[in-house]
Structure 1
């Protein structure tokens, strides 16, 4: 009989949770679940999602023992996998992450630049606490972490838990891109074998092989140059995401070697991106008034109706399915190739060993086995090293309580560059984050 697993979702009140639950139902034969627990520190928020989950699972996955809780012991005891997707400070702080930098004349974005710096420093403490709590109750559980900004979080966790080989930081954007490539090419993305290198939200596809070993990248670049680029789930996306994907065409035109992660546009074209961002209505507002509102309204409707059969949930299939696929490959030693975040240790031979890089790896029961990248070119090495230095200095600033390191980090970031501007932004972010950040000296 196939083994079933005990799984906990940390951040149960997230708008991404319903999509993750639906993916678990869809993939129940591939990754069977015995017990599923949702945990969140915001009880009222999680309750809406939790009551939806009861209805969905009763109809689609009745054999699962489901509960939602604010008890750490209930969430973490005797679990096999922990899926983490927290947002320290919630959307209130995300809005400040975006609007404070914009008010001072630099890019305000959730994971890039000053906004990502603020979010990253808030996330570190909570992630350390979560891992310590998980290890108290389930020392061998796999912790699969979606929490952003993943690059800063991964670097911090590498330092605090250097010997814990069952923490895996992942991001769904490369998967979103692979599925979008499939849409452009009219092919099933599951057949693709990607070659990819970079840092989280800062990487490039160098090759994209099909099942016969043919590199599809030249064809894909040609199509994007001619027709542009849209996400696989374009019909569900807000306008800002459609604009984000459309910029891939510009990046491929200017830097045609590889296919870029969409987030690179903030670093390639900071002045242009700044000119397109509305300081009074940012992506946070779009989410609050869009996906957030629609997801919670639909969850409440389903719970009241007592059936999810006609559910019209706004969700991202890649987000939910990717983390389940990763768990499946580990749980059943499938050895599938996925793009994940790992300590470099020679994967990219001309980047420092202790960098947390995002690369393709074979996922087995004993963890990831990365696929070597080798040397990368001068331009990409320079881009990566600048961003890597920013990330490491940001984490230094957190652990050392160092204003100087924080200033260095923001000065290095390509979305800011000016030290005077970096100081101005840093001072404003310190004030906004005084309840979350360590005291800077």
Structure 2
């Protein structure tokens, strides 16, 4: 069986150790010859790589690890690039969240003004990584789960149309695990789902078990009472902000009780509620910096210092197993059914053909084949058209260096109350993003 080489772009990410552990846990299904880390922050990556070296020595000494800041080394002779980068790191995420809140608008890393600012930072760096892959390993596949995935997906569709890119998000996977637990299933893999939307902006319309029995009524009933909160604490996040998000799904679902929603819709349906409960001086970025960031780097340093991972609290990101499933589907033509972000092309028959939609796909060696979802109702279509307009305007603003288009994008966003507020937020975001955004005129 072929052994694969994986390049992890974002080697210094807090998510990298969990992904490495997940890859190691799946060696029988997806054997690996070499893992390469690539990051433009050498010091940050060195800590993650140092711990990974010890983990590999103990768990899989046959796998080679290369950590580098050199693109040719990182992207040559690789089979898959797994990209999860954060341009500007958490310091800029903090700005994405706090600047909108200063103007009374939701501050969130992928939704509204924060997502737009993050998108403008991410596009150039993701395209650079794609170009490295195309130059050094043109037959490789680029598995992108860098946020904001919707804007990045639109940018890759428009600006790198011929590259082997799959845009993916783990949020539906995490929600499906909660659904499965709520009705007594052991895994989301016991379910087959129908879903349509944009990334962080969609609805489940059908859920069946493998025998074809309809599970949606049970799940709808649970969500209408509890949101996605379950009794299984291991599936709930320890952070209060996430647990309130899972609970708020109950109010989101009330707008369309026939379906169950993606949790991120709360920012669009209840922005006043989100702003009212936000602490503009301590946002989710601060939670992450004080929580996961310190925990992961602390654990990695302990592994380096003790030269063993035996007592480490680092753990496999279970729902990240979809990355292995996706890579296997391409490598072995498994025809796995997965939710992916793909060009619409009629998958939703009454929607923009060029929109990057999130729908079930059958994945094989040629990539994804989207499954037709038919016509969608007016309520969802109207919301999605507004949101996809935002995403397309952001990409055009990046492509043409257009202040006007970025102002339009912020004004169209459902979260922003007026063009004046949009301009005030934009001017503040522009000031702090000058090192990262293209020059706007």
User: Shorter-chain TM-score category?
Assistant: over 0.9
Q: Is the 8 Å Cα contact of residues 295 and 314 (structure 1) preserved in structure 2? A: no
1:127 aligns to what?
126
SS across alignment from 2:326? helix
TM-score by length of 2: 0.97
| CA offset digits 1:285-326 (Å, max 9, x no partner) | 00000010011101111121222122212663213x121111
1:401 aligns to what?
401
In structure 1, list runs of 5 or more residues that go unmatched.
none
**Distance in 1 between the 2:385 and 2:370 partners?**
20
In the TM superposition, 1:18-417 aligns within 5 A as 18-164=17-163, 166-187=164-185, 188-230=187-229, 233-234=234-235, 236-313=237-314, 316-319=317-320, 321-417=321-417
Q: Is the 8 Å Cα contact of residues 234 and 242 (structure 1) preserved in structure 2? A: no
| CA offset digits 1:164-189 (Å, max 9, x no partner) | 2x100100001111111111112121
CA drift of 1:55 comes to 1.1
Judge which range, 422-431 or 215-224, deviates more.
215-224
In structure 2, list runs of 5 or more residues that go unmatched.
none
Q: Is the 8 Å Cα contact of residues 270 and 415 (structure 1) preserved in structure 2? A: yes
**Distance in 1 between the 2:67 and 2:179 partners?**
37
SS across alignment from 1:114? helix
**Distance in 2 between the 1:343 and 1:415 partners?**
25
**Distance in 2 between the 1:65 and 1:398 partners?**
38
The verdict on how the C-alpha distance between 1:130 and 1:52 changes in structure 2, with shifts beyond 3 A counting, is same
**Distance in 1 between the 2:422 and 2:156 partners?**
26
**Distance in 1 between the 2:141 and 2:259 partners?**
33
TM-score by length of 1: 0.97
Q: Is the 8 Å Cα contact of residues 178 and 235 (structure 2) preserved in structure 1? A: no
SS across alignment from 1:254? coil
The verdict on how the C-alpha distance between 1:240 and 1:316 changes in structure 2, with shifts beyond 3 A counting, is farther
1:439 aligns to what?
439
**Distance in 2 between the 1:227 and 1:352 partners?**
34
**Distance in 2 between the 1:132 and 1:228 partners?**
42
SS across alignment from 1:416? coil
**Distance in 2 between the 1:238 and 1:308 partners?**
25
**Distance in 1 between the 2:74 and 2:238 partners?**
32
Q: Is the 8 Å Cα contact of residues 22 and 317 (structure 2) preserved in structure 1? A: no
CA drift of 1:163 comes to 2.0
Q: Is the 8 Å Cα contact of residues 253 and 260 (structure 2) preserved in structure 1? A: yes
CA drift of 1:236 comes to 4.6
The verdict on how the C-alpha distance between 1:261 and 1:236 changes in structure 2, with shifts beyond 3 A counting, is closer
CA drift of 1:253 comes to 2.6
Q: Is the 8 Å Cα contact of residues 16 and 315 (structure 1) preserved in structure 2? A: no
Q: Is the 8 Å Cα contact of residues 359 and 370 (structure 2) preserved in structure 1? A: yes
**Distance in 2 between the 1:346 and 1:416 partners?**
30
**Distance in 1 between the 2:37 and 2:400 partners?**
34
CA drift of 1:226 comes to 3.1
2:15 aligns to what?
16
Q: Is the 8 Å Cα contact of residues 294 and 314 (structure 1) preserved in structure 2? A: no
**Distance in 1 between the 2:38 and 2:373 partners?**
38
Q: Is the 8 Å Cα contact of residues 22 and 316 (structure 2) preserved in structure 1? A: no
**Distance in 1 between the 2:317 and 2:36 partners?**
21
| CA offset digits 1:255-313 (Å, max 9, x no partner) | 21211111000001111111111100000000000010011101111121222122212
Q: Is the 8 Å Cα contact of residues 266 and 415 (structure 1) preserved in structure 2? A: yes
**Distance in 1 between the 2:386 and 2:273 partners?**
20
CA drift of 1:65 comes to 1.3
Q: Is the 8 Å Cα contact of residues 223 and 260 (structure 2) preserved in structure 1? A: no
SS across alignment from 2:218? helix
Judge which range, 113-122 or 177-186, deviates more.
177-186
User: Runs (4+) of structure 1 moved beyond 6 Å?
Assistant: none
SS across alignment from 1:247? helix
SS across alignment from 2:77? coil
The verdict on how the C-alpha distance between 1:248 and 1:315 changes in structure 2, with shifts beyond 3 A counting, is farther
Q: Is the 8 Å Cα contact of residues 175 and 228 (structure 2) preserved in structure 1? A: no
CA drift of 1:199 comes to 0.5
**Distance in 2 between the 1:169 and 1:425 partners?**
28
